Structure 1
Amino acid sequence: MRMIDYFRKGVERAPDRPAFVDDTIAITYREIDDLASRIAGAMPESGPEGVRAAVYSPNHPLAFACIMGIFYAGGVWVPANARNTVAVNAHFLSMTGCEILFYHSSFQAEVDELRERVPSIGLTICIDAEGGKGEPSLDAFMAWGTGSAPDVPDDPDRIVTIFPTGGTTGLSKGAPWSHRTWEAMISAFWHCMPNEEPSVHLVAGPMTHAAGGLALMMVPRATTNVVLPKADPELIMQAIERHRVTHVYLPPTVLYMMLAHPDVRTYDYSSLKYFVLAAAPIAPEKLKQAMDVFGPVMCQCYGQAEVPMFMTFLSTADLQGATSNAGARRYASCGRPTMNVRLAIMDDEGTVLPPGERGEIVAKGSLVFPGYYRNPTATEEVSRFGWHHTGDVGYRDEDGFIYIVDRKKDMIVTGGFNVFSVEIEQVLLSHPAVRECAVVGVPDDKWGEAVKAVIEVRPGVATSEAELIALVKAELGSVHAPKSIEIWDELPRSGNGKVLKRTVREAFWKDHERAV
């Protein structure tokens, strides 16, 4: 199956059903299909690898039409996160060789900078207005073409998406997804969450990034996607009631903000079928509270860019069956492996471990990506012993449920975004007052993990917590900026002088059952 075939199923099922709605516009499946065909008809020949194209926009229905147009043309969608800094997006677009950029006029200044930073971008198209420097509008661009999409050949191994691995980090690698990868993910989606009734999906995350991928998985059943400008707790709760939303996908940090809202119990959530938590582990007590507030609709999935979305799934039924003392532990689980992936727990020597023993979570199957984009060294590193290595430490219980307990990589998951500590350390070390530093994730009720920096200062050079936080924010953006900074007289070091970051991290997690 090609990506366009899944969307065509939605068009055939309900052509006049709204595909995307927001406060200003509603576009039906037939209208999206027409726009996508005309966009594809104007795009240049895709060539053997496919034209690499990105959409850079706030949440807007036209952004999805452009994504579908890329698929219709046989191109490669390169997801750009609108919430990233220009520098972060420039790194990823350069690394993937992005050639075409569809953008919203509100990002004109950022696009001007991207054109300077990313030489491969040869064409920019403004989706909602005339472009600022002679770029065509979407209407003008579509007028260049034939008005219809080319016939894209069936090739299950053709790469159609290159997804960033780091969420908001400038050191992201590219994870290619083929038609086969998408097919495995879409199959897992509908197997885990069957629903014959017309669905209404709330799009609160960045549409040109992960939230757009979720919408793509739902279109075969002609789902209506309700588009919000941002993941604001009150907007989400209002939209669920107003639009009779059936499906919501959020990181735990947004759920925590919703649970803390004084009006959380005043809205009607009876339409919900699935409230799915993704992107980071959730505190078990918060999950129990959410079941009480939103009803028996809570579930959770575990994945990463290399094995997208559905390595495991923890269903509502799994949680409802957690009545015994042993079963209650399931609230700390990320679920059981899904249909299109094999999971195992492996030690550093490649031995698959029995239930109860901790090791690295490894994966095989059609859901696993084919290898990093133009990076064979990194591919070889994560493919030892014939398995994909996730970098997450966990264990499997006797019933097959997977539990994530720690992280092998120096990566922090804060609010659903992946942040690599090395980047932040490099920025902090550029300040004249910082002699040495270690950046770690620490437990936080709101963010799951909060970015924390522990530093040694140089004698006689003054600085402040606010100054250092502002420095990181200016260089990398607010997601990377430490929420707090501590000054230690001396950081722990190994015999060869290397800072023992794990020891620093353990100081903040010692009273917690999980270290993630």
Structure 2
Amino acid sequence: MYLTQGLHRAVQQSPDALMTVCGDRKRTFGEAADRVARLAGAFRGLGVAEGDRVAMLALNSDRYSEYLLATPWANAVLNPVNVRWSPAEIAYSFDDSQTSLLLVDDTFAPMIPTICEAYPGLKAVVHCGDGPTPEGTFSYEQLIADSDPIPDARRSGDELAGLFYTGGTTGFPKGVMLTHTNLITSALGATASGYVFRPGGTYLHAAPMFHLADLAGWTAQLMLGGVHVMVPSFEPVAVMKAIQDHGVTDALLVPVMIQMLVDHPQVDDHDLSSLERVLFGASPMAEAVLERAMRALPQADFTQAFGMTELAPIATLLGPDDHRAGARLRSAGRAAPHTEVRIIDADDNEVPRGTVGEIAVLGGNVMRGYWNKPEESAAALRGGWMHTGDGAYMDDDGYVFIVDRLKDMIVSGGENVYSAEVENAIASHPSVASCAVIGVPDDEWGERVHAVIVLRPGSTVTLGQLREHTKSRIASYKAPRSVEFIDALPVSGAGKVLKRELRTKHWADADRSVN
């Protein structure tokens, strides 16, 4: 199995079929294959050798798709860059991975001098934007025009496909080593579920293409020979217009994107009826938001995916029937067709159903390990199972219910409080747009439950009102004892709330982060 396989199949069967739509640019599979072969030749000409790392720092585009194909075509390794990172974080990942070539679009071109100064190991920088080519860089389109096509190396199987750096929410980023088998297995498993992606579909790239969630969608859609529609980044009106103009059938969105979409004042001004399937994940979604989304898009099937970069990325799926039934909306679903999932204790023993433990996953999607981190790799992959660090329980029918990241557990007055449960209760208040719950130091309780809230425009709520609302839904000791209001929650490029940033000011004077 290899990432370029779907392109070869499509060229053989339907070379004149539409592959990509990006703004005014439309390209067929045949055109894309020729460009990819030439781009791979250009990489070789710039000194990229077997196994070298090729990075891309860019917003979504058809060129991002070409990069994903040309890199393995040239027998090299992908290193997609998180677009939210600072130059220092990017340089760290380049130094750690020994990246040799960087592709940069117009948005991030101003960062080139700083990155190159911090990491002088790049052999070349390629400008893949539409504006003027910056001094000292190569023009993407000129390289394709001037280079001869080369044969596909068909890098495949257990060979390294990419280094995918985690978001850095704890400590320094870690390079997750994923093989071609890992990536294809996860995409095939999602497709085999029958929940997402169908032949003849049109997939919208609104989530960032550097992220594994969208890469899984890209891989599945490529294998099915479908159309890819790209918008540079998520913006509600642009997304609605793309769905309407191009008849988008499938979209992957993180919960914050879904919330912004269905709550947008122009949502009823666009025809979104073509949208058949919505896959969401990357972070939990409050039931109240999910219910609003299902009302706004009644024709669409909703599927939730739980996973992580280390799982390429899918572990469990909650399908459309369960969303319609409504009884298990708080569940992350059951093991996907390509995985085996267990809830285990600290000694790696499976716990009884209904007991909270750690999610562990086994399957062909499980990473090879962390780049240059053998001890962390061995700890995470004990017995071949990926230990996710997520706390959850499983019911008698195999549905997984995530209660929190284990490290996010709050111990208040001797009671364990899992923030995901509190966030779900708070988010159902009509004044709350979004929220995050953290533990902060408290002289009486050790730690207290603290809510950080973004209000809906024109709305207000007091701590007392919030506590009463929360206590009407969950145990009273789980209700927040303090609250702060902010304009927007800090999120990573993948849409996950950066709780570390929210905690920092509360624990800055402490010698540890728990009480």
Interval containing the TM-score (normalised by the shorter chain): 0.7 to 0.9
Change (3 A) 1:253 1:243: same
Q: Which residue of 2 aligns with 1:31?
A: 31
Change (3 A) 1:18 1:155: closer
Q: 1:303 aligns with which of 307, 329, 351?
A: 307
Q: How does 1:37-436 map to 2 (within 5 A)?
A: 37-44=37-44, 47=49, 50-128=51-129, 131-142=133-144, 145=147, 147-153=148-154, 155-166=156-167, 171-192=172-193, 193=195, 195-210=197-212, 211-295=214-298, 296-322=300-326, 328=327, 330-409=328-407
- Quote how far apart the aligned CAs of 1:187 are: 0.9
- Quote how far apart the aligned CAs of 1:481 are: 9.3
Whole-angstrom CA distance in 1 between matches of 2:391 and 2:225: 38
**1:312 is paired with a residue of what secondary structure?**
strand
Is contact 2:408–2:438 with CA below 8 Å preserved after alignment?
no
- Quote how far apart the aligned CAs of 1:170 are: 7.1
Q: Which residue of 1 aligns with 2:436?
A: 449
**2:370 is paired with a residue of what secondary structure?**
coil
**1:115 is paired with a residue of what secondary structure?**
helix
Whole-angstrom CA distance in 2 between matches of 1:68 and 1:270: 32
**1:205 is paired with a residue of what secondary structure?**
coil
- Structure 2 letter corresponding to 1:7: L
State percent identity of aligned pairs: 27
- Structure 2 letter corresponding to 1:24: D
- Quote how far apart the aligned CAs of 1:100 are: 0.4
- Quote how far apart the aligned CAs of 1:144 are: 5.9
**1:332 is paired with a residue of what secondary structure?**
coil
The range that moved more, 94-103 or 265-274, is 265-274
Whole-angstrom CA distance in 1 between matches of 2:173 and 2:372: 13
- Quote how far apart the aligned CAs of 1:185 are: 1.1
TM-score w.r.t. structure 1 length? Answer: 0.78
The range that moved more, 66-75 or 168-177, is 168-177
- Structure 1 letter corresponding to 2:514: L
Whole-angstrom CA distance in 1 between matches of 2:504 and 2:93: 32
Is contact 2:18–2:26 with CA below 8 Å preserved after alignment?
yes
Whole-angstrom CA distance in 2 between matches of 1:247 and 1:233: 16
Q: Which runs of 5+ in 1 are unaligned?
A: 323-327, 413-439, 457-468, 502-516
- Structure 1 letter corresponding to 2:153: V
Change (3 A) 1:380 1:401: same
- Structure 2 letter corresponding to 1:16: D
Is contact 1:391–1:408 with CA below 8 Å preserved after alignment?
yes
Change (3 A) 1:167 1:35: farther
Is contact 1:238–1:267 with CA below 8 Å preserved after alignment?
yes
Q: Which residue of 1 aligns with 2:514?
A: 500
Q: C-alpha offsets along residues 187-218 of structure 1, whole Å, 9 cap, x if unaligned?
A: 11211236544211111122344434522331
Whole-angstrom CA distance in 2 between matches of 1:130 and 1:279: 36
Q: C-alpha offsets along residues 47-105 of structure 1, whole Å, 9 cap, x if unaligned?
A: 55x11001122222222212211121111010112233222222222211111011113
- Quote how far apart the aligned CAs of 1:485 are: 8.1
- Quote how far apart the aligned CAs of 1:181 are: 0.3
Change (3 A) 1:273 1:364: same
**2:407 is paired with a residue of what secondary structure?**
coil
Change (3 A) 1:274 1:345: same
TM-score w.r.t. structure 2 length? Answer: 0.78
Question: Across the two proteins, how many residue pairs are aligned to each other?
Answer: 446
**1:219 is paired with a residue of what secondary structure?**
helix
**1:201 is paired with a residue of what secondary structure?**
strand
Whole-angstrom CA distance in 2 between matches of 1:189 and 1:488: 40
Is contact 2:216–2:312 with CA below 8 Å preserved after alignment?
no
- Structure 2 letter corresponding to 1:376: P
Whole-angstrom CA distance in 1 between matches of 2:225 and 2:109: 33
- Quote how far apart the aligned CAs of 1:178 are: 0.6
Q: C-alpha offsets along residues 463-492 of structure 1, whole Å, 9 cap, x if unaligned?
A: xxxxxx9xx99xx9x98598878987998x
- Structure 2 letter corresponding to 1:18: L
Is contact 2:187–2:217 with CA below 8 Å preserved after alignment?
no
Q: Which residue of 1 aligns with 2:472?
A: none
Q: Which runs of 5+ in 2 are unaligned?
A: 411-418, 428-432, 444-485
Whole-angstrom CA distance in 1 between matches of 2:438 and 2:242: 31
Change (3 A) 1:60 1:386: closer
Whole-angstrom CA distance in 1 between matches of 2:253 and 2:228: 15
Change (3 A) 1:345 1:109: same
